[in-house]
Amino acid sequence: MKQMYHSNDTCVFLINYHLVWCPKRRRKILVDRLKTRLEELIRETAPELECEILALEIMPDHIHLVVSATPQWAPNQIVSRFKSKTSRILRQEFPFLQRMPSLWTRSYFCSTARHVSANTIRRYIEAQRTRG
């Protein structure tokens, strides 16, 4: 999949981030209805951040997300917005999450996709399903 450069009034860019984050204490809670709702929230938040989702895989204990972003948003801002919005809404809709001190850990993984194609990252994320 060849990606095209994007542009706005002041610049031309192609920025892809591979982001990974997990629930507090790596609990395996991202399943069933919670997983479905989390995916909906991530997909509705992406346009607010001017991001395009290239790949998304929600495992029971972590999330892999590959986004094409604009230079106006730093990676920490993107992750923070995804985590804060999803946490707030999911904790309102799923009362058992309120027993946790917080839904997400403070940490996250971020990598740029400079030397690796989006397809390679997508294959890696899909292969996560087969791991034990």
- Domain residue ranges in the chain: 22-130
Q: Is 85 helix (H, G, I), strand (E, B) or coil?
A: helix
pLDDT digits (tens, 9 = 90+) for 54-78: 999 999 999 999 999 999 999 999 9
Judged against a pLDDT cut of 80, whether residue 3 lies above it is answered with no
Q: What is the pLDDT of residue 132?
A: 54
Q: What is the pLDDT of residue 85?
A: 97
Provide the pLDDT confidence category of residue 123 given band limits of 50, 70 and 90: confident
Strand runs (DSSP E) across the chain, as ranges? 6-7, 12-13, 15-21, 52-59, 62-69, 109-112
Q: What is the pLDDT of residue 125?
A: 72
Phi, psi of 108 (to 5 degrees): -160, 165
Average pLDDT over residues 80-107: 96
The CATH number corresponding to 22-130 among 3.40.47.10, 3.30.499.10, 3.30.70.1290, 3.90.950.20 equals 3.30.70.1290
Provide the pLDDT confidence category of residue 2 given band limits of 50, 70 and 90: low
Nearest-angstrom CA–CA distance, 97 and 30: 11
pLDDT digits (tens, 9 = 90+) for 7-46: 888 888 889 999 999 999 999 999 999 999 999 999 999 9
The CA angle 92-93-96, to the nearest 5 degrees, is: 85
Mean pLDDT of the chain: 89
Q: Using a pLDDT cut of 70, give the percent of the chain over it.
A: 89
